[in-house]
């Protein structure tokens, strides 16, 4: 089992699923022929809210899993900024999203 930390992106291809544990949570994701991105503000404020120009405040951890590594990275960051799963899930129905 691999562990994904607060700023990781992982792509898994091949016949076997990788078991990915998300640090700081009880979530474990089987990753096969897809990409996973984890974003968080638990250690530092490094993502800025474009509407305010200020860093995202508060402890937040987001996870996005989808077919594309680029899309997973963008979605985990967007989820970190918005703090809401529903609007993003509506736009990207094939993505799996988690917010902690």
Instruction: Give per-residue pLDDT as tens, 43-93.
Output: 666 788 888 888 887 768 999 999 999 999 999 999 999 999 999 999 999
Distances (CA, A) of 30 to 24, 72, 90, 96: 17, 15, 23, 12
pLDDT in tens, 14-37: 899 999 999 889 999 999 999 999
Q: What is the pTM of this model?
A: 0.87
């Amino acid at each position: 089992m691999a562990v994904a930390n607060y700023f990781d992106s992982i792509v898994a291809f091949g016949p076997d699923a990788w078991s990915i544990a998300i640090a700081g949570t009880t979530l474990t994701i089987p990753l096969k022929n897809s990409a996973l991105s984890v974003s968080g503000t638990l250690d530092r404020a490094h993502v800025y809210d474009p509407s305010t120009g200020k860093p995202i405040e508060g402890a937040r951890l987001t996870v996005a899993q989808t077919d594309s590594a680029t899309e997973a990275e963008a979605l985990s960051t967007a989820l970190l900024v918005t703090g809401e799963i529903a609007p993003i899930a509506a736009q990207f129905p094939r993505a799996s999203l988690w917010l902690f």
